[in-house]
A and B are shown apart, each in its own frame.
Chain A
Amino acid sequence: MSWTDIGTLNDIPLRGSRIVKTAVGCIAVFRTAEAEVFATSNKCAHKGGPLSEGIVHDRKITCPLHNWIFSLETGEAQGADQGQITTYPVKIENGRLLLDFDAVIAKVA
């Protein structure tokens, strides 16, 4: 594990998202209504839509392009759709957001 500081909870709007740029693509970091954070690949499993621009509801994200819905916890597409987005460990510690950068590289590689 290599927990990498990416900012604070307040940097992400409530029920919103921001992206983290990495050499292997963008990661979307989401903040739910309950002040939980989740990190996933920014690409929709359907046509690659930018998930960070979708609407966050409960622990789910709706892709802005064609309304596919994914669980932020498991990455699985919801409802009748079949597909999976990658999820990454992220946590809040002393108000800072920490992303497991090793996991990002491992899952891409």
Chain B
Amino acid sequence: MQKMVIIGAGMASGRLLEHIHEAQPDAFEVTIFNAEPRGNYNRIMLSPVLAGDRSFEEIVTHDDDWYADNNITTRFGEKVTGIDRERKVVIGEKGEVAYDKLILATGSAPFIIPMPGHDLPGVVGYRDLEDTNAMIDAAANREASAVVIGGGLLGLEAAAGLRMQGMEVTVLHIAGHLMDRQLDEAAGYLLKNDLEKRGIRVIVEANTKQIVGNGKVEKVLLDDGTELPADIVVMAAGIRPAVQLGHEAGLDMGRAIKVDAQMRTSDPDVFAVGECVEFDDNIFGLVAPLYDQAKVLANTLLGKEDTFTVREISTKLKVTGCDLFSAGDFAEGEGREDIVFRDPKRRVYKRLIVENDRLIGAVMYGDTADSNWFFGLIKDGTDIEEMRETLIFGPSFQGGGGASVDPLAAVAALPLEAEICGCNGVCKGDIIKAIEGGVQTLDGVRTETKASASCGTCTGLVEQVLAVSLGDGFEIKAEKPICKCTDLTHEDVRRLIKAQELKTQPAVWQELAWKTPNGCHVCRPAVNYYLLSDWPLEYQDDLQSRFVNERNHANIQKDGTYSVMPRMWGGMTTPDELIAVATAAKKFSAAVKVTGGQRIDLLGIKKEDLPAIWSDLNDAGMVSGHGYTKGLRTVKTCVGTDWCRFGTQDSTGLGIKLEKKLWGSWTPHKVKLGVSGCPRNCAESTCKDVGIICVDSGYQISVAGAAGMDVKMTESLVDVATEAEVEEWVTAFVQLYRENGKYLDRAYKWVAKVGLDWVKEELSDSDTRKALVDRFDISQSVYQKDPWADHVRNRADQYKPIADLTKEAVT
């Protein structure tokens, strides 16, 4: 096996490892060095870590287990001191490693301006976890001030994060407007205004003279005599490729390590990737080209042909509320013309730069909904002469072209090879062919092509293809949009969130042309659910988009008090738990009710008392029963073989196992399970979302029952022999529902829509089943936690009034 040594565990090398291990896991024996004492993580996500939206653990892309599972030797926290290309060894502080292929992925370092005081403690760059932690520590003191030097992407994200942490923040920028490499003056001005509105002070044309402090940073002095107090100074003045190793090893250098289109350096066995690379006079600082490079390098190393090309890059700022987009070239020049649109009241500014009837640059502020369309025009070099007059108004004003807000025009513009039905791999051309062959209805298309015949999420698209092809001859059955904020249906929104990789609520509102600034009480909980279900690791759950019960983890009652219900796994409890429940009930004057799901409900608790009663119940070892969620509620059981003379299996034990596996997961609507020890069905499993009947030969799993507004018996899904199989099938079913169900459709409604046959077909494939379980487990790694403990620890203040003015004089 060939020996590969990688120096640097950043985003480029992380992606490289993934590609290699997906394609050919045993191709190389890999050793990876990293100067940071840790492995690969998503550096872009340091901003959310700084802002307090994420923990570091959540942005780790490869953990210790991953390296171990893939037989990768890690040498983290160890510096590489040299490379001996003659002997083909990498020299680390703790010894040498031989290589057949060497990958340099040393990245870059922040540029620290060598002004007086730059080496004082408290001056940090913004590159790694240490920097981020230093900023978080500084922000622990609420009165503290921060100065950020540099008003580019990184500096502004640092500033917004520090402000979110409660610090007084000043941004110093040397140019006349913020983000001067990406924005023009007008957009920079709007950005500055928006930042100032959120309490960030911005000084442009700022010449920093020195950083002053005795033993640590105390203030920053500007040329004009301005003094700014500072407990921390963040230098975000740019990055420099970290190329010392490559230089010392005698590789061909420019501003960074020179590589060819296969990422090879001047030494055929040494490759370089990422920010330490120079290709065709370009160096790289954004993540998209790094990922391209990683893919090309992986292919090259695996002996496949691939070529790296520099592509157009667009920029968006990850600061909530500052909507800006910039792409291409917008410098002034001969033969270049501007098209500018301003709406001061809406704070919208758009500028397009046209040269030779081609769009070459775009800057947008305040309304970036059409940015992808413009970016596409830039990338493709589309001739815009015909649409010039209406170009700036975006795709909806172009007859028939582009990814328009008018869905029919968008479908008309799709190429024939565009995939319409993902389940059955049917492209637009197949459907058109069927229509040309005489098919005129949705059912006809389903029979002829299988499109829309499986999960049904593409039904809207298929109908649109029919409408576009048949014109007036076809009438789309009007599916209802989610709410008045959008024309899209739940299914459309789910599909587009996946297809366009929309990972935040503002992205959904922008890209899907929401008609309201931030949705309403109908669409926001749905969108919040879709995002957390599709992107559990990337999306940050938004409590303000949840119905009160889920926000406060208790059921609101008609008088504004709440009911609290601890979890009783599989309906089992203990005398000690009952004592704790009784004590809490007495202490908080609760009414006590045994529920239909084998649990105890404590009613009439005041909101302010919630953290206290949770804390008491937590102390007795109990967690939230989620009696209020669109998520797993109860697993009802009978006593099974433990006690019953008819019981055939350990139904209580199985119920507890299933509940422990599934609790905490969010679903389109509530999910209830039942496990009965024999066909006498004392747990009433046959009217649950998932029911299990234990029999002598094993377990009968049935799904899609209901005992609410509708009463419906479950239908058989599968019979299996072991508890492990029950767990796998049930988890996979729940995950399939999570990924495909419409928000607020119970499982039985969803199954009726997609058809039980399709559900069976999907789940009977063991690979699909395992993949569903894996995705469920990933989601659980984030969401399976006791919300009571979490809120007591992190949010107890929010349950109290912001202020108590009852003592203020009422005259």
Please report A residues at the B interface, Cβ cutoff 8 Å.
4-7, 9-16, 18-24, 26, 29, 33-35, 47-50, 53-58, 60, 62, 64-65, 67, 69, 95, 97, 99, 101, 105
Contact = CB atoms under 8 A, between A and B. Distances in A.
Contacts of B198: 35
B548 interface: yes
B547 A18 contact: no
A105 B808 CA distance: 10
B798 A13 contact: yes
Contacts of A50: 556, 560, 607
B810 interface: yes
Interface string B799-811: 0011111111011
Interface in B762-811: 797-798, 801-808, 810-811
A102 to B, nearest CB: 9
B490 interface: no
A36 to B, nearest CB: 10
A55 B808 contact: no
Interface string B522-554: 001100000000000000001111011001100
B197 A35 contact: yes
A101 B520 CA distance: 30
Given A33-B321, A55-B544, A4 B560 contact: no
A53 B554 CA distance: 12
B808 A65 contact: no
Given A14-B320, A15-B545, 4 more contacts: A15-B544, A16-B544, A23-B810, A53-B548
B803 A55 contact: no
B94 interface: no
Nearest to B804: A21
Nearest to A13: B544
A35 to B, nearest CB: 6
Given A15-B544, A53-B551, A58-B518, A20 B321 contact: no
Contacts of B543: 13, 16
Contacts of A15: 518, 542, 544-545
B810 A67 contact: no
Contacts of B199: 9, 95
Give the interface residue-count category, chain B.
35 or more
Q: Most chain-A Cβ atoms within 10 A of its Cβ — which of B320, B525, B542, B548?
A: B548
Contacts, number: 112
Given A50-B560, A95-B199, A23 B808 contact: yes
A72 B526 CA distance: 23
B810 A20 contact: no
Contacts of A58: 516-518, 520
Q: Most chain-B Cβ atoms within 10 A of its Cβ — which of A7, A56, A57?
A: A57
B801 A18 contact: yes
B558 interface: yes
Given A35-B197, A56-B544, A95-B199, A19 B801 contact: yes
Nearest to B199: A95
B47 to A, nearest CB: 16
A74 to B, nearest CB: 17
B518 A6 contact: no
A49 B801 CA distance: 17
Given A10-B166, A13-B544, A64-B547, A20 B556 contact: no
Nearest to A12: B802
A9 B542 CA distance: 18
Contact of B802 (A14, A19, A33, A56): A19
Contact of B556 (A24, A48, A65): A65
A33 to B, nearest CB: 5
Nearest to B552: A53
18 contacts: A10-B164, A12-B802, A14-B320, A19-B802, A21-B804, A21-B805, A23-B806, A23-B808, A26-B801, A34-B321, A35-B197, A54-B548, A58-B517, A60-B520, A64-B556, A65-B556, A65-B558, A101-B805
A24 B521 CA distance: 29
A47 B551 CA distance: 21
B802 A24 contact: no
A98 to B, nearest CB: 11
Given A22-B808, A23-B808, A64-B548, A6 B803 contact: yes
Nearest to A64: B548
Contacts of B166: 10
A39 B746 CA distance: 37
Nearest to A62: B521
Contacts of B556: 50, 53, 64-65
Contacts of A6: 802-803, 805
A30 B810 CA distance: 24
A55 to B, nearest CB: 4
Given A65-B558, A105-B810, A55 B545 contact: yes
B395 interface: no
Contact of A57 (B516, B607, B804, B808): B516
Contacts of B545: 15, 55
A47 to B, nearest CB: 8
A7 B517 CA distance: 26
A63 to B, nearest CB: 9
B122 interface: no
In the A-B complex, list the 9 residue pairs whose CB atoms are closest, starting with the nearest. Answer: A18-B802, A62-B521, A6-B803, A55-B521, A64-B548, A53-B548, A15-B544, A21-B801, A22-B805
Nearest to B542: A15
Contacts of B519: 57
Contact of B805 (A11, A20, A65, A95): A20
Contacts of A67: 521
Contacts of B552: 53
B770 to A, nearest CB: 38
Contacts of A10: 164, 166
B544 A20 contact: no
B222 to A, nearest CB: 23
Contact of A33 (B164, B517, B560, B806): B517
B518 A22 contact: no
A12 B518 CA distance: 17
A21 B803 contact: yes
A18 B811 CA distance: 25
B611 to A, nearest CB: 15
Interface string B613-657: 000000000000000000000000000000000000000000000
A58 B810 CA distance: 33
Given A4-B808, A55-B544, A20 B802 contact: yes
Nearest to A60: B520
